[in-house]
C-alpha cells in the first residue's frame, strides 16, 4: 500500500508550523499506524533528515502517550481506541492522510506532533488523590463496596490521561478528564471525606491552566479511547453544585465514609 | 575479591522482618527534612517509594523520562496482584505464597526476601483500597479474587484487565499529593544518564532534560533506582518502546554488581511477529490458556488451513508433553514447547513461527456467548491487530520477551553493592529467582516501594556519614564529562544506518543465541559477534539533529548503545550457568525427554557480575542456602 501524508512540522513552541507532504511506501495492511510512521522516519534518518517527532510508548492502548489528530479526529476514525491501536488496513490504498498534534491552549507544542500535557498533571496535583498515609490502612474488606458501585468507579477510573477529550473539544475543555477523576473518588467511600475540596480544587486548576468550559457537545466521549461517558460530566456538575452548598456554610450531607453514594 | 553480604537477619523466618525493623536505626523528623533522596523511575516501585518517602518527611527529587509519571510501563500490566489474604478460605497463607513463589522461581531466590514479600503482600491490598483503587468486588461488596498462573488457590486481586493501570494511578495519585505538599519535586521528561559516586557512596545523578537537551547534576544523600527491566534488549518484546537498560547498565559501570542477567522471562502467549516493520509484540493474557488448546499439524510444512486439518493429524503438544497440567503448564515450559515444535518445521502462519490456540472445543461445549463474555476484549484486540476472527479460526500465538528476573544485585535492605544506591522493583534481581509467577511483579513493585525501602533507607541515612558535597564536585564533573562525550560521539558518527537497524540486529542475535534456549556454541558465537556489531554501530550510526533540543533519535541511540554492551553481560551469565533452571534453558542440560536439569551442587548461587574496564566481567557468587524449604525438582508431567 502507498499513502500520501500531510504531517504537521514545527520546530518548537515559538516557531511557525506547517503541513509537509511525505510519501509512505511499502506499507502493509497489517502495519499499525505508528509502524507506518516509523517507516517514514527510518527513511528520513537514512537521508540525514530529522525524523517527525511524535509521542508513543506502550503501543497497546493503555499508557496514554500517543496523541495524533488523524484527518481531523483525535486518535483517528475508529471509536474506543488509541492511535497506536489503529492499523493501516483501515485506510484505502493511495489515500491522503493528514496528521496533526493535539491543539489546545493548555497543550503548547514542544516539537512537531508532541505537545506538553503537564497541565493535566497539575490538575491531578490540585486534588486528584485521597490523602492517606502509607501504612496503617484498615483491612480491605472493612468497607463493603457494592459490585455495581465498584464497576461504575472503574468505568471512570479507566481514563488514560491522553487528552484526546481536550483536543476534540472546541472549547478545549478538560471536563471529561476532571469528571472521570472526581467521579471515581466521589463514588467510593474512601474518597468521600475530601470530595468537597477535591471538585473545587480540580476545577479551579482546570481554569487556571487555560482549559475552556464544557459546552455539552459530547465530542470528548466520541473520541475517548476508553469510551468514558459524558454522564460523568453531569456527575461532576452535581459534585460542584454540592460543594458550593457545603462551602457556603449551609448544612451539607454528612461527610461520613458510610454516606450513601450519588 | 569483593564479598557480597546479603545481610539477612538470623533467626526464624517468620520474625526476621519484624525483628529487623526493630533493630533498624531511625531518622528523627527534624533531620528527615534535611535529607534529600533521588528516586529515578515512576512505575509501581518508584511512585510508591517517592510518595512514601515524601510523606515521611524526606525531600524527594523524582525523575522519569516519560511526559508524565503516570505513563510508566507498570501501567500495562493486565492480570492482577497476588496477596496472601485468604479471603476465599481456600487454604492460602503467607507460608503458601512464600512456597509457591520460591518453587516457581526454581529455587534461585533468597528465602528471607521471598518470605518478607509474602508477608507484606496483605498490607499492599489494604493500602491500595485506602487509595481508592476500584478492585473487582463481589455482589456482597467484598473484594473478588481469581486464580492465576497455575497455583492452587485464588489469591489474585484485579481491576478488569487493567490492574497495573489502576495500581499505578493509585501510586501516582499519592505522588501527586506529595508534589502538592512540596515534599516531592517531579522532573518529567528527564532521563538519568549517569551516577555520581563520591568516596564510595552514591551521591547523585546526571540527567538530560529531554525538551531542552540541557544536562544537569542533582546531588542527594541517597539514590533509588526504580527503572524497570531490560526485555527490550531483544528488540521485539511486550515492553513499552521507552523501557530500557540505560540507568541500571550505567550504574553497573560505576561499580554496582549485576545479578543473574540471564534470567529473562519469555511469555508464551503473544501475537506472533509479522513483517520486519513490527515494533512490538502484544501480549495475549495468560488466562486464555484456561480454555484454549495449543496445537500444530503433525506433519512438517502443512499449509492447509486449520479447519481442513482433521483431529487425528493435529498434535496437541502441551497436553502430550505435560498430561497433568496440559495447556496450563508454567510459562517457561510452555514457551519452550512452542519453540520446539516450530523449530521442527511444524509452526504455522506465513513465517512458520506460530502455533494455534484453539477455542473451537470450548465454544462447542459452552457456547459462543460464554467465550465472548470471558475473553471478548482479547478476541477483539486480536482481531484489530491481525484482522482475523478467532471465534471461527484459531488464534496464532508465539512466545515473546516479557519480564526480566535478573537485575542489579541488592542485599536484604534493597541496597546495591554501592552504599547509598538502592534498587527496587523489576530493576533489582531479588525475589523471583529464575522464573516469575503471574501476578507477582505488581506485588513486588509495591512491596519494595511502599513497605520495604522506606524502612531500610532510613537506617542507611541514620548511620552513614554523609558530608555535604558541592554540585561541581570533581566526581560530578567526571560523570558529566562521561555523558557529554557519549552524546558527542553519537552525534558525530554521521553514518548510514539508523539506531533501530542496530537494535533489531542485536535483538535478533540475542533471540537466536540467548533466547528461549541457549547452548555453549551459540553463546560463544554471540560473544564474538557482539563486539563487531558494536564497532559497526559507532562507525556507522546516523543520529540527525543536535543535542541541544528535543531529539528522540538521540535518546534512542544512547539506549541502543547500552544494549550493545549489555548484551555481552547477558551472554556471559548464560554461558557461566551450566544448568537449566526456570527461564534459563541450556540445551546441554536436559533429560532424555527434553526436561530441564537443574544443578544444585554447582549452581545454587546468585551470579553477580562486576564491571571491569576492557576485560571480561568478574563473577561473584552469593550462595543460596535453604533452611526452611527443601529444593525439589519441578515436575509438571
The model's pLDDT over B321-337, given as tens digits with 9 standing for 90+, comes to 988 888 888 888 899 99
Q: How confident is the model at residue A248 (pLDDT cuts 50, 70, 90)?
A: low
Residues 6+ apart with CB under 8 A from B615: none
Do B385 and B293 belong together in one domain? Answer: yes
Instruction: Out of A121, A140, A157, name the one closest to residue B68 (CB).
Output: A121
Instruction: State which of A77, A96, A111 marks the end of a domain.
Output: A111
Q: Is residue A203 part of a domain?
A: yes
Q: Which of B357, B566, B330, B306 is nearest to B434 (CA)?
A: B330
pLDDT of residue A251: 54
Would you place residue B399 in the very low, low, confident or very high pLDDT band (cuts 50, 70, 90)?
very high
Please give the angle made by the CA atoms of B388, B390 and B392, to the nearest 5 degrees: 100
DSSP assigned state of B282:
-
Nearest chain B Cα to A153, which residue?
B134
Sign of CA dihedral B476, B478, B483, B484: positive
Cell of A92: 484505502
Which residue among B337, B369, B400 closes a domain?
A: B400
B383 and B497 within one domain:
no
Residue B507: which CATH number?
A: 1.20.58.100
What's residue B469's pLDDT?
Answer: 94
Domain presence at residue A105: yes
Contact A145 B159 (CB under 8 A): no
- Indicate if B273 and B393 belong to the same structural domain: yes
Nearest-angstrom CA–CA distance, B338 and B335 = 5
Over residues B591-605, the pLDDT tens digits come to 998 889 999 999 999
Q: Is the pTM of this model over 0.90?
A: yes
Of B409, B361, B69, residue with least CA distance to B259: B409
CB atoms near residue B17 (< 10 Å) = 21
Closest CA to B509 of B447, B578, B566, B584: B566
Q: Which of B84, B132, B236, B548 to mutate to test the interface with A (most CBs of A within 10 A)?
A: B132
Which CATH number do you get for residue B287? 3.90.700.10
Which of the listed residues B400, B432, B447 is the one where a domain comes to its end?
B400
ipTM: 0.95
Share of chain B above pLDDT 90, in %: 88
Residue A42's CATH number: 3.10.20.30
**Which class for A92: exposed (0-12), middle (13-18), buried (19 or more C-beta within 10 A)?**
exposed
**pLDDT (tens digit per residue) in B205-247:** 999 999 999 999 999 999 999 999 999 999 999 999 999 999 9
Which of B67, B498, B550 is best to mutate for the A interface (most A CBs within 10 A)?
B67
pLDDT of residue B547: 96
Band of pLDDT at residue B94, cut at 50, 70 and 90: very high
Q: State whether A133 and A106 are in the same domain.
A: no
Closest-CA residue of chain A to B501: A42
Distance CA B560, CA A257 (A): 51
How near does any CA of chain B get to the CA of A245, in Å?
25
Q: Is residue B321 part of a domain?
A: yes
- Nearest CA of chain A to the CA of B537: how many Å? 14
Interface contact B387-A29, CB threshold 8 A = yes
Predicted pLDDT at B227: 98
Q: What is the pLDDT of residue A261?
A: 44
β-pairing verdict for B618-623 and B264-270: unpaired
Answer whether residue A49 is part of any domain.
yes
User: Which residue of chain B is at minimal alpha-carbon distance from A201?
Assistant: B180
The reported pLDDT for the residue numbered B378 is 85
d(CA A168, CA A121): 19
Interchain pair B123, A137: CB under 8 A: yes
Q: Is there a single domain that holds both residue A125 and residue A104? A: no
Q: Is residue B173 in a domain?
A: no
Domain boundary among A85, A111, A137: A111
Same domain assignment for residues A95 and A123: no
CA distances from B134 to A161, A256, A260, B33 (A): 17, 19, 17, 34
Q: A-B interface: how many C-beta pairs under 8 angstroms?
A: 221
* pLDDT tens figures, B478-529: 999 999 999 999 999 999 999 999 999 999 999 999 999 999 999 999 999 9
pLDDT-derived band at B70 (thresholds 50, 70, 90) equals very high
| Identity of the residue in B174, B280, B498 whose CB atom sits nearest the CB atom of A42 | B498
Cross-chain CB nearest to B159 (options A58, A60, A154): A154
Question: Distance (Å) from the C-alpha of residue B534 to the closest C-alpha of chain A?
Answer: 19
* pLDDT score of A260 more than 50: no
Q: Is the domain of A131 the same as that of A70?
A: no
CB nearest B240 (choices: A57, A110, A144): A57
Amino acid B593: pLDDT: 84
CA A176 to chain centre: 8
Q: How far is A219 from chain B (nearest CA, A)?
A: 23
Dist CA B192 CA B176 (whole Å)? 21
CA–CA distance, A203 with A182 (Å, rounded to integer): 10
Domain region containing B370 = 267-400
How many domains in chain B?
A: 2
- Residues in chain A closer than 8 A to B450 (CB atoms): 134-135
Give the nearest partner residue to A150 out of B128, B137, B173, using CB atoms: B137
B174/A87 touch (CB, cutoff 8 Å), yes or no: no
Task: Give the pLDDT score at A253.
Answer: 53
At residue B135 the predicted structure's pLDDT band, cuts being 50, 70 and 90, is very high
Q: Are residues A106 and A122 in the same domain?
A: no
Judge whether B8 lies within some domain.
no
Q: Give the three-class secondary structure for B72.
A: coil
All cell numbers assigned to A84: 497506536
In a domain, A256, yes or no: no
CB neighbours (10 Å) of residue A94?
9
Cβ proximity of A161 and A107 under 8 Å: no
Which of B400, B429, B452 is the C-terminal boundary of a domain? Answer: B400
Q: Which of A9, A10, A63 to mutate to test the interface with B (most CBs of B within 10 A)?
A: A63
- Mean pLDDT score of chain A: 94
Residue among A111, A126, A184 whose CB faces B132 most closely: A184
Q: What is the pLDDT of residues A66-116, one digit of tens each?
A: 999 999 999 999 999 999 999 999 999 999 999 999 999 999 999 999 999
Residue with cell 527443601: B630
CA angle, residues A141, A145, A148, in degrees to nearest 5:
145
Q: Is residue A139 part of a domain?
A: yes
Q: How many domains does one find in chain A?
A: 2
Q: Name the band, by pLDDT with cuts 50, 70 and 90, for residue B2.
A: low
Indicate which of A35, A124, A138 best probes the interface with B, i.e. most B CBs within 10 Å of its own CB.
Answer: A124
Q: All 3 cell numbers of residue A236?
A: 461532576
Give the per-residue pLDDT at A262: 40
So what's the pLDDT on residue B346?
96
Judged by DSSP in three states, B402 sits in: strand
Tell me whether residue A259 is in a domain.
no
* CATH, residue A140: 1.10.1060.10
Q: Which of residues B378 and B139 earns the better pLDDT score?
A: B139
Judgement on whether residues A128 and A229 belong to the same structural domain of the protein? yes
**Same domain for A78 and A30:** yes
Q: What is the pLDDT of residue B149?
A: 65
Question: Binning pLDDT at 50, 70 and 90, where does residue A252 land?
Answer: low
Q: Both ends of chain A: CA-CA distance in Å?
A: 52
Domain boundary among A83, A111, A139: A111
- Poorest-pLDDT segment among A180-189, A224-233, A251-260, B566-575: A251-260
Q: What's the confidence (pLDDT) of residue B195?
A: 98
Q: Which residues of chain B neighbour A116 with C-beta distances below 8 Å?
A: 67
Whether residue A258 is contained in a domain is answered as no
Q: Is residue A97 part of a domain?
A: yes
Q: pLDDT by residue (tens digit) across B521-565?
A: 999 999 999 999 999 999 999 999 999 999 999 999 999 999 999
If asked whether residues A62 and A134 sit together in one domain, one would say: no
Nearest CB to A147; choose among B123, B132, B138:
B138
Of A148, A162, A170, A157, which Cα lies nearest the Cα of A228? Answer: A157
Whether residue A127 sits in one domain with residue A97: no
Mean pLDDT on B568-597: 95
pLDDT digits (tens, 9 = 90+) for A119-175: 999 999 999 999 999 998 999 999 999 999 999 999 999 999 999 999 999 999 999
Q: State the cell numbers at B462.
A: 541514620
Minimal CA–CA distance to B76: which of B66, B85, B61, B84? B66
Model pLDDT, residue A258: 47
Residue A238 φ then ψ, to 5°: -65, -40
Q: For residues B371 and A155, which has the higher predicted lDDT (pLDDT)?
A: A155
Residue B413 within any structural domain of the chain:
no
Name every chain B residue with its beta carbon within 8 A of the beta carbon of A109. none
Contact between B68 and A161 using a beta-carbon 8 Å cutoff: yes
Residue B344 is classified by DSSP as I
Domain that holds residue A75: 3-111
What is the structure's pLDDT at B287?
Answer: 78
Same structural domain for residues A9 and A99?
yes
Q: What is the rounded CA–CA span in Å between residue B543 and residue B533?
A: 17
Pair A85, A190 in one domain: no
Q: When comparing pLDDT for B379 and B274, which is higher?
A: B379
Same domain, B274 and B393: yes
Contacts of A55 in chain B (CB under 8 A): 67
A107 with A134, same domain: the answer is no
Are the C-beta atoms of residues B211 and B550 closer than 8 Å to each other?
A: yes
Q: Do B131 and A111 touch (CB under 8 A)?
A: no
Amino acid at each position: 500500500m502507498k499513502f500520501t501524508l500531510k504531517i504537521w512540522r514545527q520546530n518548537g513552541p515559538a516557531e511557525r508550523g506547517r503541513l509537509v507532504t511525505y510519501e509512505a511506501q511499502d506499507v502493509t495492511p497489517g502495519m499499525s499506524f505508528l509502524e507506518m510512521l516509523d517507516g517514514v522516519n527510518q527513511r528520513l534518518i537514512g537521508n540525514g533528515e530529522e525524523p517527525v517527532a511524535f509521542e508513543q510508548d506502550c503501543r497497546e492502548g493503555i499508557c496514554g502517550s500517543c496523541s495524533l489528530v488523524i484527518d481531523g479526529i483525535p486518535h483517528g476514525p475508529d471509536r474506543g481506541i488509541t492511535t497506536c491501536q489503529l492499523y493501516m488496513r483501515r485506510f484505502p490504498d493511495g489515500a491522503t492522510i493528514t496528521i496533526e498534534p493535539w491543539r489546545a491552549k493548555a497543550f503548547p507544542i514542544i516539537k512537531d506532533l508532541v505537545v506538553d500535557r503537564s497541565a493535566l498533571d497539575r490538575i491531578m496535583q490540585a486534588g486528584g488523590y485521597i490523602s492517606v498515609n502509607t501504612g496503617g490502612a484498615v483491612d480491605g474488606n472493612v468497607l463493603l463496596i457494592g459490585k455495581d458501585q465498584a464497576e461504575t468507579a472503574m468505568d471512570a477510573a479507566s481514563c488514560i490521561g491522553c487528552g484526546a477529550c481536550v483536543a476534540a473539544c472546541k472549547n478545549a475543555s478538560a471536563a471529561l478528564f476532571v469528571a472521570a477523576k472526581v467521579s471515581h473518588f466521589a463514588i467510593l467511600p474512601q474518597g468521600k471525606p475530601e470530595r468537597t475540596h477535591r471538585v473545587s480544587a480540580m476545577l479551579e486548576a482546570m481554569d487556571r491552566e487555560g482549559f475552556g468550559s464544557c459546552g455539552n457537545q459530547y465530542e470528548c466521549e466520541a473520541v475517548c479511547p476508553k469510551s468514558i461517558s459524558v454522564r460523568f460530566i453531569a456527575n461532576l456538575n452535581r459534585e460542584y453544585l454540592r460543594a458550593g452548598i457545603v462551602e457556603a456554610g449551609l448544612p451539607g450531607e454528612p461527610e461520613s465514609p458510610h454516606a450513601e453514594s450519588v | 575479591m569483593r564479598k557480597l553480604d546479603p545481610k539477612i537477619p538470623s533467626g526464624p523466618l517468620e520474625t526476621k522482618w519484624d525483628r529487623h525493623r526493630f533493630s533498624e536505626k531511625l531518622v528523627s523528623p527534624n533531620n528527615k527534612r534535611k535529607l534529600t533522596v533521588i528516586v529515578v523511575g515512576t512505575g509501581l516501585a518508584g511512585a510508591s517509594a517517592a510518595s512514601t518517602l515524601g510523606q515521611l518527611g524526606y525531600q524527594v527529587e523524582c525523575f522519569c523520562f516519560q511526559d508524565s509519571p503516570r505513563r510508566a510501563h507498570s501501567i500495562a500490566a493486565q492480570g492482577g496482584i497476588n496477596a496472601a489474604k485468604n479471603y476465599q478460605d481456600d487454604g492460602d497463607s503467607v507460608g503458601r505464597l512464600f512456597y509457591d513463589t520460591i518453587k516457581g522461581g526454581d529455587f534461585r531466590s533468597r528465602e528471607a526476601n521471598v518470605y518478607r514479600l509474602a508477608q507484606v503482600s496483605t498490607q499492599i491490598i489494604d493500602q491500595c483500597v485506602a487509595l481508592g483503587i476500584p478492585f473487582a468486588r463481589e455482589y456482597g461488596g467484598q473484594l473478588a479474587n481469581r486464580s492465576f498462573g497455575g497455583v492452587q488457590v485464588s489469591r489474585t486481586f484485579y481491576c478488569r484487565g487493567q490492574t497495573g493501570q489502576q495500581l499505578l494511578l493509585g501510586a501516582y495519585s499519592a505522588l501527586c499529593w506529595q508534589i502538592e505538599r512540596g515534599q516531592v519535586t517531579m522532573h518529567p521528561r528527564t532521563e538519568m544518564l549517569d551516577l555520581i559516586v563520591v568516596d564510595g557512596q552514591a551521591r547523585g545523578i546526571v540527567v538530560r532534560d529531554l525538551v531542552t537537551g540541557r544536562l544537569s547534576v542533582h546531588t542527594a544523600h541517597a539514590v533509588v533506582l526504580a527503572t524497570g527491566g531490560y526485555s527490550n534488549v531483544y528488540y521485539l518484546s511486550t515492553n513499552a518502546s521507552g523501557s530500557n537498560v540505560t540507568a541500571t547498565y550505567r550504574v553497573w559501570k560505576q561499580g554496582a554488581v549485576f545479578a543473574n542477567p540471564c534470567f529473562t522471562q519469555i511469555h508464551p502467549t503473544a501475537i506472533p511477529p509479522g513483517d520486519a516493520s513490527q515494533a512490538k509484540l502484544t501480549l495475549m493474557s495468560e488466562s486464555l490458556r484456561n480454555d484454549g488448546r495449543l496445537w500444530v499439524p503433525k506433519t512438517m510444512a502443512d499449509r492447509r488451513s486449520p479447519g481442513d486439518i482433521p483431529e487425528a493429524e493435529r498434535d496437541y503438544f502441551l497436553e502430550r508433553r505435560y498430561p497433568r497440567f496440559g495447556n496450563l503448564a508454567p510459562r517457561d515450559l510452555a514457551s519452550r514447547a512452542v519453540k520446539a515444535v516450530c523449530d521442527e518445521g511444524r509452526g504455522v502462519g506465513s513465517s512458520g513461527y506460530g502455533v494455534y490456540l484453539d477455542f473451537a472445543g470450548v465454544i462447542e461445549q459452552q457456547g459462543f456467548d460464554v467465550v465472548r463474555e470471558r475473553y471478548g476484549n482479547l478476541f477483539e484486540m486480536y482481531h484489530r491487530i491481525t484482522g482475523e476472527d478467532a471465534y471461527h479460526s484459531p488464534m496464532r500465538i508465539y512466545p515473546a520477551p516479557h519480564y526480566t528476573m535478573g537485575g542489579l544485585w541488592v542485599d536484604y535492605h534493597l541496597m546495591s553493592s554501592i552504599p547509598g544506591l538502592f534498587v527496587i522493583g523489576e530493576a533489582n534481581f531479588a525475589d523471583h529467582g529464575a522464573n516469575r509467577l503471574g501476578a507477582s511483579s505488581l506485588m513486588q513493585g509495591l512491596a519494595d516501594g511502599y513497605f520495604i525501602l522506606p524502612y531500610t533507607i532510613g537506617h542507611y541515612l541514620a548511620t552513614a556519614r554523609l558530608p555535604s558535597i558541592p554540585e561541581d564536585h570533581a566526581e560530578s564533573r567526571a560523570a558529566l564529562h562521561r555523558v557529554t562525550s557519549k552524546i558527542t560521539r553519537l552525534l558525530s558518527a554521521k553514518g548510514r544506518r539508523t539506531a533501530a537497524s542496530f537494535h533489531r540486529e542485536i535483538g535478533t542475535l540475542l533471540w537466536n543465541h540467548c533466547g528461549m534456549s541457549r547452548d555453549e556454541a551459540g553463546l560463544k558465537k554471540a560473544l564474538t559477534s557482539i563486539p563487531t556489531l558494536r564497532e559497526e554501530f559507532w562507525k556507522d550510526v546516523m543520529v540527525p539533529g543536535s543535542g541541544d533540543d528535543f531529539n528522540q533519535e538521540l535518546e534512542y541511540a544512547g539506549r541502543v548503545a547500552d544494549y550493545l554492551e549489555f548484551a555481552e553481560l547477558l551472554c556471559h551469565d548464560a554461558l557461566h550457568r551450566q544448568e537449566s533452571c526456570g527461564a534459563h534453558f541450556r540445551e546441554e542440560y536436559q533429560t532424555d525427554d527434553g526436561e530441564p536439569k537443574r544443578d544444585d551442587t554447582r549452581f545454587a548461587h546468585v551470579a553477580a557480575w562486576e564491571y571491569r574496564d576492557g576485560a571480561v566481567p568478574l563473577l561473584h557468587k552469593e550462595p543460596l542456602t535453604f533452611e526452611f524449604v527443601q529444593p525439589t525438582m519441578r515436575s509438571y508431567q
